[in-house]
Structure 1
Amino acid sequence: MTTTLKKLNKEIPVSQLGPDWKGVKVLVTETGFDNPQGNANPYGFNLGTHVGDSLTHVQARRSLVEKEMGAPVVWLNQVHGCEVFEARLASDAMSSGTTPPVADASVSVSCNLALAIMTADCLPVVFVAFSNSGKALGVAAAHAGWRGLHAGVLLASARALSQACGVPLMQIKAWMGPAIGPHSFEVGAEVFHAFVQQSPNAIECFKPGDKSGKYLADLYALARLALRELGNSNIEGGGWDTVTDPRWFSHRRGQQQGVQSGRFATLIRLLPEHAA
């Protein structure tokens, strides 16, 4: 289900998705295409600066998202790694012409910042840390392609948030946003062996593919395995497939169709107490 938010006489396509967490705001954007095959704007509501879209148009869309979030947004230069950026000040939010932090996750304990992860098949995960009384203390957002997932970006994000908020991992919740699904994510034997060598339980996250030496990987299951220290009840979301669901950009679908794919965003913000 999609709702359209009107801001500055423009439209922000937003998914009706997200966790039911008190004290935080989560937003997942969509492509904005009414007809993905024949839309006059080939980039839709793209938020990525590296896909050939007009930087002026991208910045205008980002500004609309920032207004909807109600706080400056920290955009990252994502490189499929494990670095976690600790955002503290409004100056950490990157505006047009500035260089964003090179990281695949960010953490914030400030209600004056929103965190963003851009994806188009990779797994976006947002986190919140709660006090013993159930008050939201801080948030995090992570980008997990298979390389970052294998490198430990999700647990690194949870641990960074745990440390920033002074709470144990069991008081952190995670929500997995739209990503490539387990029936679409075909990988080679090197990916299968990398995960299974790291954790024998990972074998349950793969199925043999149709081609010899190929496997179908379940990113959501691998993420749950990586975050098992949080406890199963604290890991929510998952179950979508960006390749087959046109609501979201998909790099793999774009390759199949011979078109450039944009990027959608999953954002999270710690709300001020009076707004929570």
Structure 2
Amino acid sequence: MEIAIDKNALSPELQHRLEEFEAQKAEYLEQQRAFQDATQETARLRAAAKALQAEADGADSEWKEMAKEHKADQRKINAQIERAVSLRQQAEGLHRTAEVREELHGTQIVGMADARLNLQKKAGVLNAAYRDERFKELLATAGLADVVAELFALNSARVHAERNEFERDISHPVLAEEFELRDRIEREEFGQMMADYCKGSAPGRGAFEVAGVPPAVPGEVIAGSVIALKRLKAAGGEIPDDLDSRGGNYGPVQGLRRV
């Protein structure tokens, strides 16, 4: 069963809070877009540097082969050497640029992790508020209380009838504790009966969510707690290892996950 949520039917307060959430989510999506653009450009620089390095290696091989000839043209050899040096310098320049850009990636990763953790917290609060609001709204449905009360009374009458038949067959008086236990069982049976009745038609848990967090993008680091976020910030956007006072390494810090 699918539930269509009419956000315009929410209380004014919840609508206002949801609008603020959506504005913050839009900022987070922009952070993700900027991060993807930055990482793609860095990857392009790395690929270009690799291609230039390969070209420089090829130029080195060429002038070395030319130098083996008896009548080698020194000018051509010099030209190839200069070309190899120039290509290698260009490759090194691109590598350095990429390395500096990766520092920017770390800053972006920390910013996204902070924004995402904040969004997750706010989404949880908003969804809880919506569920409470919707619960009260459904309880106020005209005639619902009468129907539920009659169902409960009918179930109680059935259980009491079965209880009376049982009590006629036992040889000892029913204790007060037994009555309390049976009353509790009666309520539990009623709840189970209603759950069985609704089985198959009840909406999934996600149907009662008005606020959601977008999926993480490749390379993004998700922080599962404030403590994990602090560790990520201290490491400049990298997932640090968990070290003890004696230098023991327990692997990556718990609560941080790279997508």
Please state which band the TM-score falls in when normalised by the shorter chain.
Answer: under 0.3
Q: Which structure: larger Rg? A: 2
Where is the helix percentage greater, Structure 1 or Structure 2? 2
Name the TM-score, length of structure 1 as normaliser: 0.20
Greater RCO, CA 8 A, separation 6+: 2
